[in-house]
Amino acid sequence: MNLQPNAIPRLAIVVPCYNESEVFPFCLTTLGSYLNGLIQKKLVQPDSYIMFVDDGSKDDTWQQISAAAKQNPYVRGLKLSCNKGHQSALLAGLANATQADAIVSIDADLQDDIEAIGKMVQSYLAGYEVVYGVRASRQTDTAFKRMTAELFYRMMTVMGVKQVFNHADFRLLSQRACAALLEYHERNVYIRGLVPLVGFPATEVHYDRKERTAGVSKYPLRKMIALAMEGITSMTVTPLRLIAFSGMGVGLVSMLAMAVVLACWVAGYYAPGWGLVIIAIFFATGMQMLCLGIVGEYIGKIYLETKQRPLYHIEEKDGFTPHNSSTIP
Ligand code: UDP
Ligand code: MG
């Protein structure tokens, strides 16, 4: 790969926040001093900044963000009008990370190792435009989350979706890669499936994921399943194809069964076997309903895409002006 080194970037760190009142003070001070360290080391420009996106929190997260943006020149706050979900909040942050040369996205609970940000910037300076944060281990996740996540990644790979294993939404994008990502005008967003489609020189940075410092996960099983469904249906039509194949398979089996029944009839052997018939009816009905459900899921997605509804609305902005070019004291 022929890499062209990049100049020292103005870095924007985008942090989506939903009901993160407990975590926010820790997140602000930790990220703030880390960013300051990067500036001291001359890895990023002095006018780099952190942008917190409040995803319609019900607690005082926005009040805290807004106060921090008024006090600190390196903090910007963006408030969405209501809760739109992590993916939309992240997109809102990326779209509003103006004048930044490189943008890092990270979760507010800082479970992802912030030291990896420095390594991402080093990779950017070397010429990479997409740097994926990859979890070296998932020891802090529950066995259930580990297992389901692994199963999901494998399933996506089998279905032909290019995705970086053990990478969530902790990554660095160059301004060019970010602009390219924003050109995907999809309602049905699964960012970690879209980024590999953008292209540009890409690399990985490995880190160990920590426990949440405070508060509880904002990704309960319900949201995890919704994200997985979004991921599958937005990235691949393989499930629809599988339905057709399984239909052919069932068709073949039924032909085989017909041959057996015919042979038994010719041989004069008659078995009542009504239990079997009932099981077969229920099984076939269940399969049909499942297949219809999958088809329905895709039709639903087409319906939502055709509406082209906006993904989010911005209610308030703080810290964007007038001190957005000053340095960290
Ligand atoms: N988040 C968000 N909107 C939501 C749910 C979550 O912006 O509707 C944010 C949340 O504040 C955090 C990030 O997305 O910064 C990831 O959430 P969390 O850490 O709870 O997920 P987990 O690490 O448990 O998968
Ligand atoms: Mg987390």
User: What is the biggest distance separating any 2 CA atoms in the chain, rounded to whole angstroms?
Assistant: 95
Q: Which residue has the tokens 């209610």?
A: 315
Q: With 0-12 CB in 10 A as exposed, 13-18 as middle and 19+ as buried, what is 44?
A: buried
SS3 205: strand
**Which residue owns the Cα nearest ligand 1 atom 12?**
107
273-300 mean pLDDT: 80
Q: Rounded to whole angstroms, how far apart are CA atoms 44 and 150?
A: 35
What's the CA gap between 5 and 177, in Å, rounded?
15
Q: How far apart are CA 246 and CA 241, in angstroms?
A: 9
pLDDT over 70 for what percent of the chain? 96
d(C-alpha 147, C-alpha 158), whole Å: 17
The atom of ligand 1 lying closest to the CA of 15 is 15
Contact between 125 and 3 (Cβ < 8 Å): no
Joined together, the tokens standing for residue 144 give 């259930």
Among the bound ligands, name the one nearest to the CA of residue 106. Answer: 1
89 pocket-lining for ligand 1 (C-beta < 6 Å) = yes
List CB contacts of 299: < 8 A, sequence separation 6 or more: none
The residue with tokens 């992802």 is: 112
Q: Is 129 in the pocket of ligand 1 (CB under 6 A)?
A: no
Q: Is the CB of 86 under 6 A from ligand 1?
A: yes
From atom 24 of ligand 1, which residue's Cα is the shortest distance away? 217
Side chain identity at residue 241, one-letter code: R
Q: At residue 323, does pLDDT exceed 70?
A: no
Nearest listed ligand to the Cα of residue 16: 1
Instruction: Identify the pLDDT of residue 208.
Output: 84
Q: Is the CB of 169 under 6 A from ligand 1?
A: no
Among 111-115, 275-279, 297-301, where is mean pLDDT lowest?
275-279
Specify the pTM.
Answer: 0.80
Cβ(117) – ligand 1 distance below 6 Å = no
**Phi and psi angles of residue 54, each rounded to the nearest 5 degrees, phi first:** -85, 115
Atom 7 in ligand 1: which residue has the minimum CA distance?
86
* Cβ-contact 104, 169 below 8 angstroms: no
Q: Is 321 helix (H, G, I), strand (E, B) or coil?
A: coil
112 lines ligand 1 (CB under 6 A): no
How large is the average pLDDT for residues 279-306?
83
Q: Per-residue confidence at 322, pLDDT binned at 50, 70, 90?
A: low
End-to-end Cα separation, the chain, in angstroms: 39
* 257 phi, psi to nearest 5 deg: -60, -40
pLDDT tens-digit series, residues 226-266: 888 888 888 788 888 888 888 888 878 877 887 888 888 78
Per-residue pLDDT tens digits for 48-104: 999 999 999 999 999 999 999 999 999 999 999 999 999 999 999 999 998 899 999
Q: 312 C-alpha vs ligand 2 centroid, how far in Å?
A: 22
Q: Does the C-beta of 137 come closer than 6 Å to ligand 1?
A: no
Sheet holding 167-174, edge to edge: 202-208, 130-137, 167-174, 102-105, 11-17, 49-54, 75-80, 314-318
C-alpha 48/C-alpha 40 separation (Å) is 12
Tell me: pLDDT of 327 over 60. no
